Structure formats: C-alpha cells, structure tokens
Amino acid sequence: MSDVSCYLLGEQAIVVNATCLPKSKSPINQRLFALKKWLDSSGDFVDVVPAKSSVTAYLKDPRKADAWQNKIQAHWQDLEVAEVKPTHHHIEVFYGKEFGQDFERIADELQLTPKQLIELHSSVDYQVQFIGFLPGFAYLSGLPTALQLPRKSTPITKVPKGSIAIADSYSAIYPSQSPGGWHLLGQTNTTLFDPNSASASLLQPGDIVRFVEKSC
C-alpha cells in the first residue's frame, strides 16, 4: 500500500492516512468510506471514525492490531468503492431574516441578491465528509466556490440549534446550540443528533445532503 500510511495510535487505534495522495487521485473519500464500512462489518472495532483524509479505527482487542494493519495494507486497493450506498437527505431551510443572522451581510459581501444566495446554496448536492466539533456536526463538502469565505475572525458564543452555516469550502448544520465561527445563512427544524435513537447522528459519512428552501 504505497499511496497511504497505516500506523498505530497508542495500543488500540489504527490510523489509515491518505493526506499524501494527490488531489486528482481517484475518489479517495469514497475509498475511505468503503474502508469504514468494511472495518465496521468485521465486529473487531469499538468505533471507526473517518476524518477529512483519514480513518481511525479503535480495536476491541489490541492484540489484533498487527494483524489488522497487515489486512488493511493488503486490501486497500481492493476495497469496493461502488458498494458504498449513501443515504440521501433533503433538509428544509428557513433562509435569512431572524433565522440567519449573517445572511444579508454575506449577500452584500459577495455581491449577490438574496435570491441568488439561496439558489447557489441550495443548488448542489453536498457530501458528508466527516463528523466532528460537536456530536452530529457534519462537514459537508461541495459548497460552490462563489460562496466560500474564511471563518469569522471572532466567533459568537451562541449559535442557535439547527443553524445552517458556511465556512471555507464547507457547509454545515449546528446540531445543538454552541459557540461557533461559521457564517449563518438560515435554520432548520430537522433533528441532527438524538442520543436515544439507533443511529444517534442523522448524517453519516458518505451521505448526500440537499438543502431545500422553506417559507414561513
């Protein structure tokens, strides 16, 4: 496996890192999603956590670490990317006004009308790249270049639950109230995280998200 690194993190975690791959390489994220699915299905791991360009897998039995490193290295190129079947989600959004405190500022800054801003943000399919920052907080890739802005220089202390936000090359939804430095476009009533459900996080790595404008 010459194009990724595979190493131990402590005694029980295995990290598969693909940061060294060129951006033009065949869909590395899809292969990482396939790797997660394969490791999950083995029953040997407590948790398998994908990130932007890596997967960290936590073993139930640390004695299997060497064997799993060898398996991953041997099967990396054979992972069936086509077997990964993402779930598609349509997330209804109330844009602007009291629902998105940065909406008008962003429209002015990007020289867009409110309608153009909404159309741009809701015109594409986003893919869940990884979950982080908060339980159920999904980093959604696919944000149109015309909407890409750096994060705020000064975060705010209370971002409302369900806020739809953008920053850098991502969009996201805040699953709960928290501090945050992303630009807020709107809000959804969709529950993103429920610890009492079978799958606590609604959005899973590899899933596809489409935002749909909703009127009050």
pLDDT tens by residue, 74-114: 888 888 765 667 899 999 999 999 999 999 999 999 999 99
The overall average pLDDT reported for the chain is 89
Share of the chain above pLDDT 70, in %: 92
Distance CA 167, CA 173 (A): 11
Place 29 in a pLDDT band, splitting at 50, 70 and 90. Answer: confident
Walk across the sheet containing 54-59 and list its strands. Answer: 5-9, 13-17, 54-59, 45-50
pTM: 0.78
Residue ranges of the alpha helices (H) in 43-201?
A: 65-75, 103-109, 114-121
pLDDT at 83: 61
Distance CA 52, CA 202 (A): 19
